[in-house]
Chains A and B, each alone.
Chain A
Amino acid sequence: MKKSIKVSLGGMAFNIEEDAYAVLEDYIESLKNHLGDTPEAAEVVADIEERASELFAEQLGGRQTITIEMVNDVIKTLGRPEQIANEDDAEQTSSFESDSERSTTRRRFYRDSENAIIAGVASGLGQYFGIEPLVFRILFAVLLFANGLGAIIYAVMWIAVPRAETTRQRMEMKGEDINFSNLEKNLQEEINKVKQNMEKRNLSGFFERVFSAFGKIFIAIGKVLGGIVKVMAVIFAVAFISIGLILLLLTTISLFFGGVIVSIIPSYSGITISELIGTTFDIGSTLWVTIPVYFVIAIPLIAIVFVGLRMIFRFKMRDSVAFVTGATAWILAVTILAFVLFFQARSFSIRETVKDVLVLKMPNDTINTLRFTADIDQLEQFENGQRMLFLDEFIVDYSLGEQAIMGKPKIYIGKSTSDSYEIVLEKKSRGATKQLARRSADGISLPYKFYDNNLQVNPYFILKRGDKWRAQDIEVTLKVPEGKRVYIHSSLEPYLSSDQDYCLCWPDEMVNRLWLMKGERLVEVK
């Protein structure tokens, strides 16, 4: 079943099939274009329409509806617009036998609003690929659950792809497949054109024969190459689209929903990029960072997807508008990001150190040995590793529901100037101003336990809740008085600095041993 339209042509009424009508409309449009915009031309067109109606009446006989074959026939009888127009110019150029093959149309991608459920994107895709639109509808519906990606793609296509409005566009929507014979036809046309040009310049004879021989070879090569190029183009396009979409999806999920990208970081365990950014950036919302970053990454990805779509679909669109919009948005995002980073960088400009000295009072003066250990039981809570990120010397922990930043202390053994053991905590931090750096340094705490002759320090320091990461650092120095001893437990090995002032030895050589402070050196007690 085909749809037919009622038209009036040259004073007669006809039923004409939709596709036939499109061809006829195209023909008359083209005729008008060729003849120009004069009253004389209008008269000629009217005469020709009249003649066409006569010919249709003849052809129809008893039948009801004009078909596309009839239209092509009539056009053949009347002549192509360029032949008619050439006659009018009273100068003969191109051939009389120019074929009327060109009434077939190239297929283009349009939205099919007639069979639409929303805006006709899926049914347009269906028309383009000659597949049931239901396939695309299901695809969109499935992608909808991929964080609404389906909706985004749908919306982009809705905006970018024009609706098939005229009959001509509806024809193009269902038009001829792009295939090898098409390609060959185009090549042949090109070669014919060159041939004609050569004829014009009287380069006939030998050159022509050589040329046509070459031409045939070119056509053969062209056919093969064309096939390869076509296949490559499709492969590239599909690669573009899929890579673009996958990266886009990953970026979206990483920045706004989960932690796909962060999971590349070793020892990741479920912290999102937003949370990570939140450890350092002190702007109200991490969206100030994630949204510009998203645009900076996503716009080129969208461009890649777009290029891929263009390679397959060749839909009409104003590229310049798309380009300018995309580029503007990208530059804007980069600018915002640069501003945010610039202001953030200022909060690292000044470094301050706060020094705490604690005197360790022994229960009685006769004790001359201190057992120094790290409270590694504290590390147990990290073992399940949930919602926790280990970055270099720092740990970001969300396991208790809120952000806690922890870092690894550096431990030294020094010499006390008094008779008592002392611990010196040098807490360091950066900040935008001296005050801020100092406040942030003050926020560092290193829990420890001291009982009998045991000193047990936490294996990590903790930032005050709500404090941002400002490259905080803590140096712990245990000061041993002259003539007193310290036993360094093996649990301290990871925290001991390898640059000790009182011992030319590595951490692994220091642990599990008893040391005596004697003069400027620590001496091992056997």
Chain B
Amino acid sequence: MNVENTKAQMRKGVLELCILSILSRADAYTTDLINKLKEAQMIVVEGTLYPLLTRQKNAGLLSYRWEESPQGPPRKYYTLTPKGREYLNELESGWETLIETVNKIRKQA
């Protein structure tokens, strides 16, 4: 057992929720997402985000469009789809319940 591992596991479980909720406020391109998640110490290495984004996009939770950038090539801008919004709502309520339950257990113990 390794405490860092467990922490990483915990972060990973809610990473999807974090991505969706960042996108629920505004469309973002990948680097924005990365910067926000890194700031919040949700991810350690950037590469891990990409498979997740692709999976969410393929599941129809996200869609993207190409937008010209001031410098360099066009960028991928991700948007939440209606289905993604629904999914996010469910995850959020799930998250609230989880916190409540966990806290309850912790206080009892």
Contacts and interface: CB of A to CB of B under 8 A. Distances in A.
Interface string A41-54: 00110011011011
A476 interface: no
B101 to A, nearest CB: 22
A54 B44 CA distance: 18
B45 A78 contact: yes
Interface in B1-19: 1-2, 4-5, 8-9, 12
Contacts of A31: 47
A84 B8 contact: no
Contact of B31 (A54, A95, A96): A54
B70 interface: no
Interface in B23-51: 30-31, 34, 44-48, 50-51
B45 A47 contact: no
Contacts of B73: 10-12, 50, 53
Majority secondary structure of chain A interface residues (helix, strand, loop or mixed) = helix
B83 interface: no
B1 A78 contact: no
A92 B73 CA distance: 34
Contacts of A95: 2, 4-5
Contact of B47 (A11, A78, A90): A78
Contact of A78 (B5, B46, B58): B46
A159 B53 CA distance: 50
Nearest to B44: A96
B54 A79 contact: no
B54 A47 contact: yes
A88 B48 CA distance: 8
B53 A204 contact: no
A393 interface: no
Contacts of B50: 44, 47-48, 51, 84
A40 B1 contact: no
Given A12-B72, A51-B46, A199 B1 contact: yes
Contacts of B1: 199, 204
A77 B54 contact: no
A83 B52 CA distance: 13
A25 interface: no
Nearest to B57: A43
Give the interface size class of chain B. Answer: 20 to 34
Interface in B44-94: 44-48, 50-55, 58, 72-74, 76
A53 B51 CA distance: 18
Contacts of A81: 47
A31 B47 CA distance: 10
Interface in A88-104: 88, 90, 92, 95-97
> Most chain-B Cβ atoms within 10 A of its Cβ — which of A43, A57, A97?
A43
Contacts of B31: 51, 54
Contacts of A40: 51, 54-55, 58
A35 B51 contact: yes
Contacts of B55: 40, 88
B47 A48 contact: yes
A145 B8 CA distance: 68
Nearest to B46: A78
A48 B31 CA distance: 11
A77 B8 contact: no
A501 interface: no
A496 to B, nearest CB: 99
Nearest to B75: A50
Contacts of A97: 4
Interface string A67-85: 0000000001111110111
Contact of B54 (A44, A50, A83, A92): A44
Closest 6 CB pairs of A and B: A79-B45, A11-B73, A79-B47, A88-B51, A87-B48, A84-B47
Given A12-B73, A96-B45, 17 more contacts: A11-B72, A31-B47, A40-B51, A40-B54, A43-B54, A44-B50, A44-B51, A47-B50, A48-B50, A54-B72, A57-B72, A79-B44, A79-B47, A84-B45, A87-B47, A95-B5, A96-B8
29 contacts: A10-B73, A11-B73, A12-B72, A12-B73, A40-B51, A40-B54, A44-B50, A47-B54, A47-B76, A50-B30, A50-B73, A77-B46, A79-B44, A79-B45, A80-B45, A83-B48, A84-B45, A84-B47, A84-B48, A84-B50, A85-B51, A87-B52, A88-B51, A90-B12, A92-B5, A92-B8, A92-B12, A96-B8, A96-B44
